[in-house]
């Protein structure tokens, strides 16, 4: 791979909090963008997410580093009148401006597109909301749990029949949405290359959730007949189901009809194909619960390693927990897990963004900034001399020197 970075020289101001919008800035930074993370004096709440359930507790601020690696950090109190001087210079410096503050609060802080675009007509202003820019709920705050998962319909469908909706994996909707807002930014940057014009780009957790659930949502638009939630004991097809091996490993089996005969032989039960209960598609559908019971017995007689070998070439996958996933050799072989520089403690590795461009190396992953770590450095780059910086401190726009790093 070459050492050239696609976004070398691209300047990004990240005013966002939590996961999704900051995650988009991480993807840009992975390919060389210079990202400035702007935080209020209290810091991004996500700095402390590793301390509160249901997040797995740890000493190291792993969620914050995941969403903010490779960035420089500045503290800016937008409630101070003099903060507008810094905001103006940041906007003029930037190519991309990311924000996810709910619009009512954004308006008070003078962070709306109309507030900043006149300073930099080439700016790509990236707006992430919970429920979209318009409509009765456009001003509501939204998390991936409420907007991406619950409101989109995903949470109603990702459960077994008879079970209540369950709690989704933390940040899963956020990280999917990060790729969406990143895509919007890159699309606008390409347009700017052709026209010279900046743009206002947006997506929402709701839009991304509906897109993730789009097969089913499109079915609803077509007034399709829904077949009900998955029932492991009586699924739509016994060949597309979840089974448990002798070592208590659950695995997903997903066979197409043309593979059934070959798979029956592979598991040592070719007789299933001539069993009168399963001898034609109609009987197979009517008696699928009986076939599930037979397959439960078959698969429960051997460990997962046996079934991986016996069903090699078929669509099969063990259900793995996080501690198993990190030891999967596929992750390091494909640079999904990479070293993290400078974080200390046990935080020595991180997850790379899911985009690769062959021939182009990503920048080495570096720890997230401490709160306000680069404030003086950034102010100097923006053109503030020592007196100007001191005036900003006196006005409360930036913290006093001893408060820089918390």
pTM for this structure? Answer: 0.93
Cβ(24)–Cβ(108) below 8 Å = no
Q: Is residue 225 part of a domain?
A: no
- Average pLDDT score over residue span 311-320: 96
CATH code where residue 155 lies: 3.40.50.10540
Q: Is residue 219 part of a domain?
A: no
Q: How far apart are CA 177 and CA 164, in angstroms?
A: 25
Instruction: Give the pLDDT score at 401.
Output: 75
Q: Is 201 found in the same domain as 95? A: yes
What CA–CA distances, in Å, run from 100 to 13, 19, 138?
A: 12, 10, 12
Residues 6+ apart with CB under 8 A from 52: none
Q: Is residue 1 part of a domain?
A: no
Q: Is 255 found in the same domain as 380? A: no
Q: Is 78 found in the same domain as 187? A: yes
Q: Is 148 found in the same domain as 78? A: yes
Instruction: Give the pLDDT score at 279.
Output: 87
Q: Quick one: what percent of the chain has pLDDT higher than 70?
A: 98
HSE of 255, CA atoms in CB hemisphere, 13 A: 20
- Give the pLDDT band (50/70/90) at residue 402: low
Q: Is residue 3 part of a domain?
A: no
Q: How far apart are CA 289 and CA 231, in angstroms?
A: 10
CATH code where residue 263 lies: 3.30.1540.10
Question: pLDDT tens-digit profile of 107-129?
Answer: 999 999 999 999 999 999 999 99
Q: How far apart are CA 268 and CA 283, in angstroms?
A: 21
Task: Look over the chain and give the mean of its residue pLDDT values, rounded to a whole number.
Answer: 95
Q: Indicate the angle between helix axes 205-212 and 214-221, nearest 10 degrees.
A: 80
Q: Which two tokens stand for residue 322?
A: 């996080």
- Average pLDDT score over residue span 233-258: 95
Question: pLDDT tens-digit profile of 32-88?
Answer: 999 999 999 999 999 999 999 989 999 999 999 999 999 999 999 999 999 999 999
Instruction: Give the pLDDT score at 405.
Output: 46
Residue 334: closest CA among 364, 313, 354, 308: 354
Residue 353: closest CA among 326, 335, 340: 335
The residue out of 318, 334, 360 marking a domain boundary is 318
What CA–CA distances, in Å, run from 119 to 14, 88, 115, 116, 241?
A: 17, 7, 9, 6, 57
- Average pLDDT score over residue span 369-381: 97
Q: Which two tokens stand for residue 127?
A: 């707006």
Instruction: Give the pLDDT score at 3.
Output: 52
CA Rg, the chain, in Å?
26
Q: Is 136 found in the same domain as 73? A: yes
Burial of residue 196 (CB within 10 Å: 0-12, 13-18, 19+) is exposed
pLDDT reading at 200 higher than 80: yes
Burial of residue 248 (CB within 10 Å: 0-12, 13-18, 19+) is exposed
The residue out of 318, 338, 370 marking a domain boundary is 318
- Give the pLDDT band (50/70/90) at residue 400: confident
Q: Please spell the DSSP secondary structure of 316-329, one letter per residue.
A: EEE---HHHHTT-H
Instruction: Give the pLDDT score at 5.
Output: 87
Q: Is 65 found in the same domain as 128? A: yes
Q: How far apart are CA 347 and CA 58, in angstroms?
A: 10
Residue 315: closest CA among 209, 237, 246: 237
Q: Using DSSP, state whether 133 is helix, strand or coil.
A: coil
Q: Is 111 found in the same domain as 26? A: yes
Number of domains within the chain: 2
- Average pLDDT score over residue span 322-330: 96
- Average pLDDT score over residue span 134-146: 93
Q: Is 198 found in the same domain as 66? A: yes
Domain with 313 in it: 240-244+250-318
Q: Is residue 227 part of a domain?
A: no
**Beta-bridge mates of residue 252:** 242, 317
Q: Is 198 found in the same domain as 293? A: no
Residues 6+ apart with CB under 8 A from 220: 226
pLDDT reading at 1 higher than 50: no
- Give the pLDDT band (50/70/90) at residue 406: very low
Q: How far apart are CA 367 and CA 66, in angstroms?
A: 9
């Amino acid at each position: 791979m070459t050492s050239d970075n696609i976004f070398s020289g691209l300047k990004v101001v990240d005013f966002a909090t939590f996961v999704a919008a900051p995650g988009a800035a991480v993807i840009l930074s992975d390919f060389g963008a210079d990202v400035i993370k702007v935080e209020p004096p209290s810091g991004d709440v996500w700095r402390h997410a590793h301390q509160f359930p249901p997040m797995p507790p740890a000493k190291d601020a792993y969620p914050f580093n995941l969403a903010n690696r490779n960035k420089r950090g500045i503290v800016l109190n937008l409630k101070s009148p003099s903060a507008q001087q810094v905001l103006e210079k940041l906007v003029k410096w930037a190519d991309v401006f990311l924000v996810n503050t709910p619009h009512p609060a954004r308006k008070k802080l003078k962070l709306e597109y109309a507030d900043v675009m006149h300073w930099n007509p080439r700016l790509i202003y990236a707006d992430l909301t919970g429920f979209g820019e318009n409509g009765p709920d456009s001003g509501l705050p939204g998390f991936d749990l409420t907007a991406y998962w619950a409101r989109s319909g995903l949470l109603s469908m990702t459960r077994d029949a008879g079970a209540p909706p369950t709690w989704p994996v933390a940040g899963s909707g956020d990280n999917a949405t990060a790729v969406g807002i990143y895509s919007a930014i890159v699309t606008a940057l390409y347009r700017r290359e052709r026209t010279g014009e900046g743009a206002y780009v947006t997506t929402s957790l709701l839009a991304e959730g509906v897109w993730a659930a789009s097969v089913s949502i499109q079915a609803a638009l077509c007034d399709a007949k829904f077949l009900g939630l998955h029932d492991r004991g009586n699924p739509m097809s016994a060949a597309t189901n979840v089974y448990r091996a002798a070592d208590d490993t659950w695995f997903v089996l997903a066979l197409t009809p043309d593979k059934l005969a070959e798979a029956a032989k592979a598991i040592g039960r070719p007789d299933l194909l001539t069993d009168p209960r399963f001898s034609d598609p109609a009987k197979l559908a009517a008696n699928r619960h009986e076939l599930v019971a037979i397959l439960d017995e078959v698969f429960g007689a051997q460990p997962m390693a046996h079934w991986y070998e016996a069903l090699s070439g078929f669509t099969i996958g063990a259900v793995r927990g996080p501690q198993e996933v990190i030891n999967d050799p596929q992750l390091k072989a494909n640079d999904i897990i990479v070293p993290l520089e400078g974080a200390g403690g046990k935080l020595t590795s991180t997850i790379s963004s899911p985009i690769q461009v062959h021939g182009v190396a990503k920048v080495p992953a570096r720890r997230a900034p401490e709160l306000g770590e680069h404030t003086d450095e950034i102010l100097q780059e923006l053109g503030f001399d020592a007196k100007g910086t001191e005036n900003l401190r006196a006005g409360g726009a930036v913290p006093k020197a001893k408060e820089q790093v918390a």
